[in-house]
Chain A
Amino acid sequence: MEEQHEHHHHLHVPHPDMGPSEPTHTEFHIVSPMTYLIIGGCLLVLTASTTAISYVDLGEFNAVVALAIACMKATLVVLFFMHVKYSSKLTKLTVACGFFTFLVLITMTMTDYISRAWGRW
């Protein structure tokens, strides 16, 4: 049990529980502007391609391709602009939980609609 007065010198002593391997800790990483520029460029290219591809007849796959490109763009934004690639395990787990819950929302709602014989599907 640390004594009260030792707490004030806490910052000068390496704490065994706050190393980079801890799930709530990560090294303070500054992403370079060049990375941002490259990722931004990729996003603009993907935007142009999704608009261009929508004019090509791919039948059912138009929607699939459009959503796939959107997912790629979102992934780039999350990993680099939102720094998740350089974040702690806690942050990464939180983001993953968000996507998982969203998928549950969509799939469980859809199983309800698809399994009822309303003549729509």
Chain B
Amino acid sequence: MDSHTLAAQTGEIGHVEHEHPSFLRHHFENLAQQREAATFGMWLFLLTEIMFFGGLFCAYLIFRNWYYPAFVAGSHSLHIWAGTLNTTLLIISSFTMAMAVHAAEVRHRKPLLAWMIATIILGCGFLCVKGYEWHDEWVEHHVPGLNFNPANLEHGTKAYPDDKLAPDMAQKTNLYFSLYFAMTGMHALHMIIGVSLLTFLLIRAWGGAYTNGHIAPVENFGLYWHFVDIVWIFLFPLLYLISRHQ
């Protein structure tokens, strides 16, 4: 319900005499302040997300230092092409999301819809590759708590024949894989939430909701999407690129 309808219902005197966009709420002085407040709020939320993922990164830092050979072997079992592809998909999706924000800012509805759809498709592509990788880890018995068996890490692999681990160090790879599934799992959950929200925004944008000057929802969703991209930008080298030169 916009402020004009609300005011008409409550019979506020003099309200219909002043002009302001319907999406400007009355507790804000003007549109610029409303946008600033919304952006500030979104950044505060992103700060809590930094701390949330930060805890997982801290755990990773400590265990990688303590059990480095196990982390090397664990990292080698991931597909580097999948990680690089996923990073590429997310970076392109950040570009398409930035273009969607731009389309909203210049009030072009059809480009806005196109860029949003492109972002959704790229996000789903990322999730498909991630699903394939997770299935692969399941098949190789690398899922802690479900079917974890590090026997194949004690003998080395075709690509990395020197990855022979002593049995106790091989057992420590469960720490690497626990962190792998926790971090990529939480990241994937954020991606799923993002794609769902973006679909909702797409439906509203179809009706013209964000090409009339009310760009804050698209802008602030863009902040969320870029943040999820940044988390992956750090996850990729830490999980996939440990000592590939060996």
Physical interaction between A and B = yes
- For residue B246, which residue of chain A has the nearest CB? A57
A15 to B28, alpha carbons, bound, how many Å?
A: 14
Nearest Cβ on chain A to B77's Cβ, whole angstroms: 15
Nearest Cβ on chain A to B146's Cβ, whole angstroms: 29
Say yes or no: A70 contacts B234, CB within 8 Å: yes
Say yes or no: B87 contacts A47, CB within 8 Å: yes
Chain A's interface: helix, strand, loop or mixed, by majority?
helix
A56 to B241, alpha carbons, bound, how many Å?
A: 11
Nearest Cβ on chain B to A115's Cβ, whole angstroms: 13
A-chain residues with CB within 8 Å of residue B207 when the two chains form the complex = none
Nearest Cβ on chain A to B211's Cβ, whole angstroms: 14
B-chain residues with CB within 8 Å of residue A26 when the two chains form the complex = 36
Give residues of chain B (51-108) contacting chain A, Cβ–Cβ below 8 Å: 51, 54-55, 57-58, 61-62, 65-66, 80, 84, 87-88, 91-92, 94-95, 97-99, 102, 105-106
Q: With an 8 A cutoff between CB atoms, is A109 at the interface?
A: yes
B-chain residues with CB within 8 Å of residue A48 when the two chains form the complex = 84
Say yes or no: B95 contacts A36, CB within 8 Å: yes
A52 to B102, alpha carbons, bound, how many Å?
A: 33
| Number of residues on chain A facing chain B (CB within 8 A) | 62
- When each residue 205-246 of chain B gets 1 if its CB lies under 8 Å from chain A and 0 otherwise, what string results? 000000000000001001100110110011011100111111
B-chain residues with CB within 8 Å of residue A98 when the two chains form the complex = 43, 46-47, 50
Say yes or no: A102 contacts B51, CB within 8 Å: yes
B-chain residues with CB within 8 Å of residue A88 when the two chains form the complex = 36
Chain A to chain B contacts (Cβ below 8 Å), 8 pairs: A11-B18, A44-B88, A67-B237, A70-B237, A81-B97, A88-B36, A94-B44, A120-B65
Give chain B's interface residues, CB within 8 Å of chain A. Answer: 14, 17-20, 29-30, 32-33, 36, 39-40, 43-44, 46-47, 50-51, 54-55, 57-58, 61-62, 65-66, 80, 84, 87-88, 91-92, 94-95, 97-99, 102, 105-106, 219, 222-223, 226-227, 229-230, 233-234, 236-238, 241-246
